[in-house]
């Protein structure tokens, strides 16, 4: 009888006890709003910002309501206005083009490579079309950041990084989010720290961070930000910047601080699980394991592989067969958006031209979460199931 995986792909680990206790103290105090602090206190949110900035070697950090809000705030801070074109990945999730559309911008999509990173040749060809790049490190895959920054610097392109899947990752010695002028991170349940929803925004630029703080709704209380620029940076900005409220509260910050302190350990655990699945999928007939660059240190909270050249029917068959054995896979090649998966041509608020090479790659991308509730043995079993079912379908296509 075929083995069947019994675990849940949506079950996360519990919030650490220290986070639960800190959250209870906040609830008992009644002081949830980030600026509602007792005399002599800094507050959980300001402390989280300070700790996160230090953890990624940034001068400044702002905690906000979501990763999507962080991206839209970064775009507003760098001056994107209605009608402005913004370069971004064709392979990403909907909140990325959504953040561009939210500020009135027009996404200009850049292709994807077989390594699932932004196509730098396509980026160079489109560099004269926009002044800003919203770079998505989609599913934790980082491109050659040295070459990307050389292209953007030469073209005068301002880079903002979407690091929803790369909190704790590096390119060489530089943390994800620290190449561009602003880095945006998510604290949503399925990301690397979990507060249900939440986001973090980092920068070394005084003016950009002052704008971001004002946009988040600081009510002229910007001096309470431990990881914010000096008050002089707000001299004119405080009069010119609208309040688009999106602050993080003390409750979520209290939950996040112990998780952030333990992030390095969690990254190691994710990568152990990633490698267990990756090793089990090597040399599977019809399946391509995605390569990673030697300069990239990643966080393997999900894994992707390619079914290149497969028909839609065959991909759907393989996914259904894995699903019947308890393994939940997502496909980015479907004509209709499903759950978290969608394609650049699904976002009809963002007009696009067909990208044939990118379409070929998207048709083969299969995606799977790797929650830390899985054991190494679970991951080995999952790989065996995928290997068996993909091989059966692939060999059936040839028969």
The predicted pLDDT at position 346 comes to: 86
Mean pLDDT along residues 346-369 = 92
From the CA atom positions of the chain, what is the Rg in Å?
A: 22
What is the set of domains in the chain, with CATH numbers? Answer: 17-261 (3.40.640.10), 263-398 (3.90.1150.10)
Structure tokens at 194: 């979990």
Of residues 128, 132, 99, 96, the one with CA closest to residue 112? 96
Is residue 22 classed exposed, middle or buried when 0-12, 13-18 and 19+ CB atoms within 10 A define those classes? buried
* Nearest-10 crossing angle of helices 312-324, 376-398: 140
DSSP of 163-184, one letter per residue? -TT-TT-EETTEETTSSSSEEE
Percentage of the chain with pLDDT > 90? 92
Angle, vertex CA 72, rays to CA 66 and CA 75, nearest 5: 145
**3-class DSSP assignment, residue 310:** coil
- Residue of 335 and 24 predicted with greater confidence: 24
Query: What's the rounded Cα separation, in Å, for the pair 159 and 151?
Result: 11
Mean pLDDT along residues 363-370 = 96
Non-local CB neighbours of 201 within 8 Å, separated by 6+ positions: 61, 62, 64, 70, 73, 74, 182, 183, 184, 185, 209, 212
Q: Where are the beta strands (DSSP E) in 209-281?
A: none
Query: What's the rounded Cα separation, in Å, for the pair 100 and 152?
Result: 18
Query: What's the rounded Cα separation, in Å, for the pair 343 and 363?
Result: 10
Mean pLDDT along residues 345-365 = 91
Looking at every residue in the chain, the average pLDDT score rounds to 96
Specify the pairing of strand 330-331 against strand 365-369. antiparallel
Mean pLDDT along residues 126-131 = 98
pLDDT at 335 over 80: no
The predicted pLDDT at position 359 comes to: 93
Query: What's the rounded Cα separation, in Å, for the pair 203 and 74?
Result: 10
**With bands split at pLDDT 50, 70 and 90, how would you rate the model's confidence at 81?**
very high
pLDDT at 1 over 60: no
12-70 pLDDT, tens digit per residue, is: 999 999 999 999 999 999 999 999 999 999 999 999 999 999 999 999 999 999 999 99
157-186 pLDDT, tens digit per residue, is: 999 999 999 999 999 999 999 999 999 999
Mean pLDDT along residues 285-310 = 96
The predicted pLDDT at position 114 comes to: 96
**With bands split at pLDDT 50, 70 and 90, how would you rate the model's confidence at 340?**
confident
Structure tokens at 231: 């008050």
Query: What's the rounded Cα separation, in Å, for the pair 86 and 100?
Result: 7
170-229 pLDDT, tens digit per residue, is: 999 999 999 999 999 999 999 999 999 999 999 999 999 999 999 999 999 999 999 999
**With bands split at pLDDT 50, 70 and 90, how would you rate the model's confidence at 399?**
low
Contact 96, 88 (CB under 8 A): yes
**With bands split at pLDDT 50, 70 and 90, how would you rate the model's confidence at 396?**
confident
**With bands split at pLDDT 50, 70 and 90, how would you rate the model's confidence at 2?**
confident
Mean pLDDT along residues 71-79 = 98
The predicted pLDDT at position 338 comes to: 81
Buried b / exposed e along 247-281 (16+ C-beta atoms within 10 A): bbbbbbbbbbbbbbeebeebbebbbebbebbbebb
**What is residue 14's DSSP assignment?**
P
Percentage of the chain with pLDDT > 70? 99
Mean pLDDT along residues 343-371 = 92
**3-class DSSP assignment, residue 162:** strand
């Amino acid at each position: 009888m075929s083995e069947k995986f019994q675990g849940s792909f949506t079950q996360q680990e519990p919030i650490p006890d220290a986070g639960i206790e800190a959250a209870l103290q906040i609830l008992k105090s009644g002081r949830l709003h980030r600026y509602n602090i007792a005399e002599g206190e800094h507050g959980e949110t300001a402390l989280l910002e300070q700790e996160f900035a230090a953890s990624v070697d940034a001068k400044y950090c702002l905690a906000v309501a979501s990763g999507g809000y962080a991206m839209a705030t970064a775009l507003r801070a760098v001056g994107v206005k209605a009608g402005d074109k913004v370069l971004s990945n064709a392979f990403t999730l909907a909140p990325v083009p959504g953040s561009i559309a939210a500020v009135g911008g027009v996404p200009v999509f850049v292709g994807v490579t077989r390594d699932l990173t932004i196509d730098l040749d396509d980026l160079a060809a489109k560099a004269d079309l926009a002044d800003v790049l919203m770079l998505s490190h989609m599913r934790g895959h980082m491109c050659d950041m040295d070459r990307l920054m050389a292209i953007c610097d030469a073209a005068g392109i301002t880079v903002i990084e979407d690091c929803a899947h790369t909190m704790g990752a590096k390119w060489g010695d530089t943390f994800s989010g620290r190449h561009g002028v602003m880095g945006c991170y998510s604290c949503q349940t399925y990301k690397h720290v979990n507060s249900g929803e939440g986001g973090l925004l980092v920068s070394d630029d005084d003016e950009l961070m002052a704008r971001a703080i004002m946009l988040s709704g600081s009510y002229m209380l910007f001096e309470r930000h431990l990881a914010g620029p000096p008050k002089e940076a707000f001299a004119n900005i405080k009069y010119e910047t609208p309040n688009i409220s999106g602050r993080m509260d003390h409750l979520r910050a209290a939950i996040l601080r112990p998780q952030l302190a333990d992030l390095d350990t969690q990254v190691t655990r994710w990568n152990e699980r990633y490698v267990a699945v990756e090793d089990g999928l090597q040399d599977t007939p019809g399946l391509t394991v995605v390569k990673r660059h030697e300069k990239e240190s990643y966080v393997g909270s999900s894994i992707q592989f390619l079914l290149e050249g497969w028909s839609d029917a065959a991909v759907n068959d393989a996914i259904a067969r894995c699903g019947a054995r308890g393994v939940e896979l997502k496909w980015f090649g479907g004509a209709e958006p499903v759950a978290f998966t969608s394609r650049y041509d699904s976002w009809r608020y963002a007009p696009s031209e067909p990208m044939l090479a990118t379409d070929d790659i998207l048709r083969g991308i299969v995606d799977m979460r790797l929650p830390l509730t899985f054991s190494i043995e679970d991951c080995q079993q999952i790989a065996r199931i995928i290997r068996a079912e993909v091989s059966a379908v692939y060999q059936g296509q040839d028969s």
